[in-house]
Amino acid sequence: MLDDLDLPTSISAPGTSVVIRRATPDDLQAIMQLLSDDPISAGRGDIANDDDRPAYAAALDRIIHDPGNELLVAVNRDDAVVGTLQLTVIPGMARRGSTRLLIEAVRVASTQRSSGIGSALMRWVIEQAAIDLEAPLVQLTSDAARDDAHRFYRRLGFVDSHVGFKFYVTLPASAAQ
Amino acid sequence: MLDDLDLPTSISAPGTSVVIRRATPDDLQAIMQLLSDDPISAGRGDIANDDDRPAYAAALDRIIHDPGNELLVAVNRDDAVVGTLQLTVIPGMARRGSTRLLIEAVRVASTQRSSGIGSALMRWVIEQAAIDLEAPLVQLTSDAARDDAHRFYRRLGFVDSHVGFKFYVTLPASAAQ
């Protein structure tokens, strides 16, 4: 499935161009930094703390080895990570058996905001990746506090037709990640 | 992952008890009926049309063979399907590498609404399945028109902190599902 995506690929934004490629374990520090470079993520504990590195490394390993998931990074010509997003292909019964493409964890480096990289990334997902993956339904949720992100997704043609609910489970200590 | 779930299992609602088990190809007709037994799904084209059976059968096959996905059915003591839901385990980087458990396609037969089956199903997910799957974050989206469902999820402890966006992709005819 996601192995079929034709990557790496180059995408263009008005002022720049970046390459989208699959994340590798060598990207760990850059991805941790990108997560912490966002106030809402940082508020949830993603602060690029060295103590959390083993948990992030294990998660990256799980994503890389999961055939239904792909963590992608957008890199500039110096191979510096300037953006990331995760794709999950979800087979489903609804809508006459439509496959869904879920987008999670869209992040663009704060130094690159308004560069058009975010739009270029999302347009690649809806105009190329979804078609290659035969997924007619692309979906994502965005924190209700991210007003700018909501305008961004609406401009791209996304419809805010749903309410996103979360439930936080306290795992027993033996199962803590 | 999802193969580790201890199923089938019996769950109790105030007036009844049902068994949760993995869906099999023999459940296809019952699941198509359940989808069509919901006005919002029916409005999206899920009307249990015989012409759509091959597409649903292919989708059920994809779900059954996907290690990250599980389609579950709730059956009564006559093994009649009275509810269904889909679980997807999604490894992730955010929240210090937390695994997410996504719930899709929650449906309870209209004849069984208010029986407590829906609550019992969802409580099993958040109190048992999420722990067994070591997924501290359970998430779902619900159509903005489903006010009753929103009250139902809030009563269970879900927080409507996110906005759910969808984008519909027109696939080339050769890739149509």
CA–CA distance, B130 with B101 (Å, rounded to integer): 7
Tokens of A136: 């007619």
Q: Is residue B128 part of a domain?
A: yes
CA–CA distance, A51 with A62 (Å, rounded to integer): 19
Write the pLDDT tens digit of every residue in B29-38: 999 999 999 8
pTM given for the model: 0.95
Span of A123-137, A140-154, B60-74, B105-119 with lowest mean pLDDT: B105-119
Chain A partners within 8 Å of B95 (Cβ): 44-46
Q: What is the pLDDT of residue A124?
A: 97
Q: Is residue A40 part of a domain?
A: yes
pLDDT at position A177 over 60: no
Burial label, B6 (beta-carbon count in 10 A; 0-12, 13-18, 19+): exposed
Inter-chain touch B105–A93, beta carbons under 8 Å: yes
B56 CB within 8 Å of a chain A CB: yes
Q: What is the pLDDT of residue B174?
A: 65
CA–CA distance, B85 with A109 (Å, rounded to integer): 37
What DSSP line would sit under B71-85, residue for residue? EEEEE-TT--EEEEE
CA–CA distance, A59 with A56 (Å, rounded to integer): 5
Inter-chain touch A159–B175, beta carbons under 8 Å: no
CA–CA distance, B177 with A105 (Å, rounded to integer): 28
Partner residue facing A59 (CB), from B67, B92, B167: B92
Query: How confident is residue B163, by pLDDT bands cut at 50, 70 and 90?
Result: very high
CA–CA distance, B161 with A166 (Å, rounded to integer): 7
Write the pLDDT tens digit of every residue in B91-120: 999 999 999 999 999 999 999 888 899 999
Locus of tokens 């955010």: B94
Query: How confident is residue A175, by pLDDT bands cut at 50, 70 and 90?
Result: low
Segment A136-161 mean pLDDT: 97
Q: Is residue A147 part of a domain?
A: yes
Nearest to A122 by CA among B167, B5, B25: B167
pLDDT at position B175 over 70: no
Q: Is residue A77 part of a domain?
A: yes
Write the pLDDT tens digit of every residue in A162-171: 999 999 999 9
Query: What is the total count of domains within chain B?
Result: 1
The mean of the pLDDT values for chain A is 94
Q: What is the pLDDT of residue B153?
A: 97
Q: Is residue A163 part of a domain?
A: no
CA–CA distance, A16 with A82 (Å, rounded to integer): 12
Closest CA–CA distance from residue B39 to any residue of chain A (Å): 13
Tokens of A29: 């520090």
AA identity, residue A169: V
Q: What is the pLDDT of residue B8?
A: 97
Interface test with A, best of B165, B168, B170, B171 (most A CBs within 10 A): B165
Query: How confident is residue A4, by pLDDT bands cut at 50, 70 and 90?
Result: confident
A39 CB within 8 Å of a chain B CB: no
CA–CA distance, A71 with A2 (Å, rounded to integer): 10
pLDDT at position A75 over 90: yes
Put simply, the chain B residues between 120 and 139 with a CB less than 8 A from any chain A CB are 126, 130-131, 134-139
pLDDT at position B176 over 70: no
Partner residue facing A142 (CB), from B96, B163, B175: B163
B173 CB within 8 Å of a chain A CB: no
Q: Domain of A24: which CATH number? A: 3.40.630.30
Segment B2-23 mean pLDDT: 92
Q: Is residue B165 part of a domain?
A: no
Domain carrying residue A76: 2-155
CA–CA distance, A75 with A170 (Å, rounded to integer): 36
Q: Is residue A17 part of a domain?
A: yes
Inter-chain touch A136–B167, beta carbons under 8 Å: no
Nearest CA in chain A to B104: A92
Write the pLDDT tens digit of every residue in B128-137: 999 999 999 9
Chain B partners within 8 Å of A100 (Cβ): 104
pLDDT at position A176 over 70: no
Locus of tokens 């270029």: A120
Inter-chain touch A161–B157, beta carbons under 8 Å: no
Tokens of B43: 């409005």
Query: How confident is residue A15, by pLDDT bands cut at 50, 70 and 90?
Result: confident
Q: Is residue A16 part of a domain?
A: yes
Span of A13-17, A153-157, B116-120 with lowest mean pLDDT: A13-17
Write the pLDDT tens digit of every residue in B53-92: 999 999 999 999 999 999 999 999 999 999 999 999 999 9
